[in-house]
Amino acid sequence: MAYYLGGAFVALQLLSYYGYVAIDMKKVEKDVVEKLDMDEDGKITTNDFKIMWTKYCGIIMSKMPSTAMFAAAFLYGFKGKLAL
């Protein structure tokens, strides 16, 4: 997913450089900050990502029979093996 987003960014920058499209970067920045600023301080900080992570874990772990099982499966999928 990150490769596609990065590739799209580079493609848009190239199109902008050659004059095919005009990108209002101030509007892009405003919209991104509006969506990702979880603590509403007007900036994207590590605290915003901590809040997003907490929300993500709450959604993923809701109605799970065991949080420990989720953690083990998550680590297995993330690292490719259990790191116990």
pLDDT computed for residue 21 by the predictor: 92
For position 66, what pLDDT does the model report? 67
Predicted confidence (pLDDT) per residue in 9-61, tens digit: 899 899 999 999 998 989 989 999 999 999 888 889 999 899 998 888 788 77
Range 58-79 average pLDDT: 73
DSSP character string of 25-70: HHHHHHHHHHHH-SS-SSS--HHHHHHHHHHHHHHHHTT-S-HHHH
Model's pTM, two decimal places?
0.51
